[in-house]
Chain A
């Protein structure tokens, strides 16, 4: 998750003590995959390595905070990242994006394919829009192996829509490993890293928490939740995106799932070996969440949720206080799709306009969202920074205001 904490920007630039934890390393990082990214308030960058079953914590150089955070806009960002990696863009895959909380530099985790190898790389985009490769071998880091890491053989079971047999594009899931869901999202909160994903031999939805600096101690709890639109309890599908807030006076994890319930989990429930029953409070409609950003909209703490199949959704955090919970039997029986009158359920948010489709999004300073946006018309992938009160561009829109006569009449 991309989480902005303005309080952190001025302070805490000093690095955390290294060498305290038993897992501290001096050697070069043996990172095999650069997946999920999350910054600690001081600029430590956590990188989820799904191939190794580990979280790496890199101490990023403490760059100075800019006087004013600038929007960064780069067309064809995939081509330009591929350029610095020495490959064409067809040999690149983009995995995640995060923004340094102090320097406002943008970091992107990618896979680079060349010479019969898939290699992880971390890309930095400076405030001036310069793209460079982070030299991981020069950074101090810690590595935390994850307990109960799932096997890397088992694959999805293909299904068709409803009673239909699976088509080839559905059958393709049967070739994808469940361990690709092992590290979905990470959230740093008051000295601890929270990690969502699937774990254990039977691939259960799991929340982990571990102190940072790593001490080799970690907790893993299974999460069960009532899924409103599927009308069933679910224990496997993992949390896709999450954020931590005080709700009803308690520190609470707000979590988003596919198709698309929002659930609440008290942080004190996340203890090793626990079977958590999450509190389902909302289902804002079918689709798959991508990112959950926490930011201030008109002074109000809010969540900005992107999806691979819906417009972004804005939910005021305060609206989650005193929320009604839903469980089996509370609503009419059966699956619920977007077109049913009862949907959405308990939704306190709003769908908003967004030009194109955001593959990755993060807070950039207090005023901007930076997004890797797929342009609707050209298909190009662009890094766009927009004012977070109205995160849009105008170039694809034509309206009354674009007529010269409109202005002549003014």
Chain B
């Protein structure tokens, strides 16, 4: 299928194709219109179909023209004919930043990309947590947030921990065979090898702790990691940090500072913690309730290296007294929760606690 056009287009860059497209091809290909939004449509004049049906005359494939279309299946979708225009609407929305190829009459190919922003936006790292410039020696997890869904099973290749002298520590995160992604593959969870954190176990004795108090390190996400749609790659991202003393105690809400908002306003409620907590867990383990225990809806933000938690209610505060319920499973950056420290001695009983409730009296209006 379309041997000639494969040769014709092969080797041309996407930019080249887009530049070529409007002038010459539009008339030749009967008013081809690429979609300007993810739900389509791809349109072309009925005349351009010749004697072919819409299904045979206009087919859309994943990937650039250079990979189109032998042995590939067209994208599934519906065809609409309105007056003299054929439109193709994909069954699932086109993916932003993905290159697609429209094969017209089985002989000419038009590449297109949907979504203005993401065409230029590379799949960069947008944040790394913990975000502190100094983190404890026994930090358990890192989160790497990407601007785009990413290709899985590449972390081992692209992520490393560099020591102060620039030497990479390949054993810090050990194996990534079971990568931990969120649903849309924009957040990767990295776990430090617990053998390198826990005292006295084999890897800790042989290799020493991966992170040592007083030393500096850089978490490096290398250049070239492709996004899930394969249409962009990361440039190098470096998150430098210093390592401080380990945290090997239970968190304590009595050491927190609560700043109460004012009644009848949407002022923020602020908690200042005794230590940095896990950024992801902070999003769902602290719940604000009215005096009757009904949850209050609002927006959560974490800042100052995850030592400060802020809550802005959707509606103005209406109860003079509210309660903040902290789930005992909330972990600090070292994996210690309100029941037990991660690195506890065998046989140490865990505290029987489900949650801690902080009562907060609002300021008078």
- List A residues at the B interface (Cβ < 8 Å): 80, 82-88, 90-91, 112-119, 121, 131-133, 135, 153, 165-169, 171-173, 175
User: Are B194 and A119 in touch, CB under 8 angstroms?
Assistant: no
Q: Could you tell me the distance between the alpha carbons of A393 and B95 in the complex, rounded to whole angstroms?
A: 37
User: Are A86 and B98 in touch, CB under 8 angstroms?
Assistant: yes
In the complex, whether B339 has a CB less than 8 A from a CB of chain A is no
Q: Could you tell me the distance between the alpha carbons of A117 and B149 in the complex, rounded to whole angstroms?
A: 9
CB < 8 Å neighbour of B194 from A121, A153, A171: A171
Q: In the complex, how many angstroms separate the beta carbon of B8 from the nearest chain A beta carbon?
A: 22
Neighbouring A residues of B151 by C-beta, 8 Å: 90
Q: In the complex, how many angstroms separate the beta carbon of B156 from the nearest chain A beta carbon?
A: 11
Neighbouring A residues of B95 by C-beta, 8 Å: 86-87, 91, 114-115
Q: Could you tell me the distance between the alpha carbons of A117 and B95 in the complex, rounded to whole angstroms?
A: 10
Q: Could you tell me the distance between the alpha carbons of A250 and B352 in the complex, rounded to whole angstroms?
A: 47
Q: Could you tell me the distance between the alpha carbons of A88 and B72 in the complex, rounded to whole angstroms?
A: 11
User: Are A88 and B75 in touch, CB under 8 angstroms?
Assistant: no
User: Are B229 and A87 in touch, CB under 8 angstroms?
Assistant: yes
The count of A-to-B residue pairs whose CB atoms sit within 8 angstroms is: 117
Dominant secondary structure at the A interface: mixed
CB < 8 Å neighbour of B73 from A84, A169, A175: A84
Neighbouring A residues of B152 by C-beta, 8 Å: 90
In the complex, whether B93 has a CB less than 8 A from a CB of chain A is yes
11 contacts between A and B (CB under 8 A): A86-B62, A86-B75, A86-B76, A88-B229, A90-B152, A90-B230, A91-B95, A135-B91, A165-B194, A167-B174, A168-B173
In the complex, whether B186 has a CB less than 8 A from a CB of chain A is yes
- In the complex formed, the residue of B with least CB distance to A112 is B92
Neighbouring A residues of B93 by C-beta, 8 Å: 86, 114-115
Neighbouring B residues of A118 by C-beta, 8 Å: 183-184
- Top 6 closest pairs, chain A to chain B, by CB: A114-B95, A133-B76, A83-B73, A172-B178, A84-B76, A86-B75
Q: In the complex, how many angstroms separate the beta carbon of A319 from the nearest chain B beta carbon?
A: 37
In the complex, whether B177 has a CB less than 8 A from a CB of chain A is yes
- List B residues at the A interface (Cβ < 8 Å): 38, 60-63, 72-76, 90-96, 98, 100, 149, 151-152, 173-180, 183-186, 189, 191-195, 198, 201, 228-230, 284
Q: In the complex, how many angstroms separate the beta carbon of A172 from the nearest chain B beta carbon?
A: 4
CB < 8 Å neighbour of A117 from B91, B98, B184: B184
User: Are B194 and A166 in touch, CB under 8 angstroms?
Assistant: yes
Known: A83-B75, A113-B184. A175 touches B92 (CB 8 A): no
CB < 8 Å neighbour of A165 from B173, B178, B180, B201: B201
User: Are A133 and B91 in touch, CB under 8 angstroms?
Assistant: yes
- In the complex formed, the residue of B with least CB distance to A154 is B329
Neighbouring B residues of A91 by C-beta, 8 Å: 95, 149, 185, 228-229
- In the complex formed, the residue of A with least CB distance to B203 is A165
CB < 8 Å neighbour of B149 from A83, A116, A167: A116
Q: A86-B62, A133-B76 are in contact. List 16 more A-B contacts (CB 8 A).
A: A83-B74, A84-B76, A85-B91, A85-B92, A86-B92, A87-B229, A114-B93, A118-B184, A121-B92, A133-B91, A153-B284, A165-B195, A167-B195, A169-B177, A172-B178, A172-B191
Neighbouring B residues of A82 by C-beta, 8 Å: 62
- In the complex formed, the residue of B with least CB distance to A168 is B174
Neighbouring A residues of B176 by C-beta, 8 Å: 168-169
- In the complex formed, the residue of B with least CB distance to A75 is B71
Q: In the complex, how many angstroms separate the beta carbon of A109 from the nearest chain B beta carbon?
A: 15
- In the complex formed, the residue of A with least CB distance to B61 is A83
- In the complex formed, the residue of A with least CB distance to B147 is A116
Known: A121-B92, A135-B91, A167-B193. A113 touches B73 (CB 8 A): no
Q: In the complex, how many angstroms separate the beta carbon of A404 from the nearest chain B beta carbon?
A: 31
Q: In the complex, how many angstroms separate the beta carbon of A308 from the nearest chain B beta carbon?
A: 13
User: Are B178 and A114 in touch, CB under 8 angstroms?
Assistant: no
User: Are A169 and B184 in touch, CB under 8 angstroms?
Assistant: no
- In the complex formed, the residue of A with least CB distance to B226 is A90
Q: Which of A91, A121, A131 has the most CB of B within 10 A?
A: A91
Q: Which of B76, B177, B185 has the most CB of A within 10 A?
A: B76
CB < 8 Å neighbour of B180 from A87, A135, A166, A175: A175
Q: Could you tell me the distance between the alpha carbons of A82 and B73 in the complex, rounded to whole angstroms?
A: 9
User: Are A168 and B229 in touch, CB under 8 angstroms?
Assistant: no
User: Are A168 and B73 in touch, CB under 8 angstroms?
Assistant: no
Q: Could you tell me the distance between the alpha carbons of A167 and B201 in the complex, rounded to whole angstroms?
A: 11
User: Are A114 and B91 in touch, CB under 8 angstroms?
Assistant: no
Neighbouring B residues of A165 by C-beta, 8 Å: 194-195, 198, 201
CB < 8 Å neighbour of B94 from A86, A113, A169: A86
Known: A86-B94, A88-B229. A80 touches B73 (CB 8 A): yes
Q: Could you tell me the distance between the alpha carbons of A112 and B149 in the complex, rounded to whole angstroms?
A: 12
Q: Could you tell me the distance between the alpha carbons of A87 and B177 in the complex, rounded to whole angstroms?
A: 23
User: Are B174 and A113 in touch, CB under 8 angstroms?
Assistant: no
Known: A85-B92, A87-B229, A114-B149. A175 touches B189 (CB 8 A): yes
User: Are A132 and B185 in touch, CB under 8 angstroms?
Assistant: no
Neighbouring B residues of A168 by C-beta, 8 Å: 173-176, 191-194
- In the complex formed, the residue of A with least CB distance to B78 is A135
Neighbouring A residues of B61 by C-beta, 8 Å: 83
CB < 8 Å neighbour of A131 from B73, B177, B191: B73
Neighbouring A residues of B91 by C-beta, 8 Å: 84-86, 133, 135
CB < 8 Å neighbour of B191 from A80, A114, A133, A171: A171
Neighbouring A residues of B184 by C-beta, 8 Å: 113, 116-118
Q: Could you tell me the distance between the alpha carbons of A85 and B75 in the complex, rounded to whole angstroms?
A: 6
- In the complex formed, the residue of B with least CB distance to A82 is B62
User: Are A116 and B186 in touch, CB under 8 angstroms?
Assistant: yes
Q: Could you tell me the distance between the alpha carbons of A115 and B193 in the complex, rounded to whole angstroms?
A: 32
Q: Could you tell me the distance between the alpha carbons of A185 and B198 in the complex, rounded to whole angstroms?
A: 38
Neighbouring A residues of B194 by C-beta, 8 Å: 165-168, 171
Q: Could you tell me the distance between the alpha carbons of A87 and B72 in the complex, rounded to whole angstroms?
A: 12
User: Are A172 and B195 in touch, CB under 8 angstroms?
Assistant: no
- In the complex formed, the residue of A with least CB distance to B284 is A153
User: Are B183 and A169 in touch, CB under 8 angstroms?
Assistant: no
Neighbouring B residues of A121 by C-beta, 8 Å: 92
Q: Could you tell me the distance between the alpha carbons of A135 and B194 in the complex, rounded to whole angstroms?
A: 46
Q: In the complex, how many angstroms separate the beta carbon of A124 from the nearest chain B beta carbon?
A: 10
Q: Could you tell me the distance between the alpha carbons of A171 and B195 in the complex, rounded to whole angstroms?
A: 10
- In the complex formed, the residue of A with least CB distance to B327 is A153
Neighbouring A residues of B62 by C-beta, 8 Å: 82-83, 86-88
Neighbouring A residues of B191 by C-beta, 8 Å: 168, 171-172, 175
- In the complex formed, the residue of B with least CB distance to A133 is B76
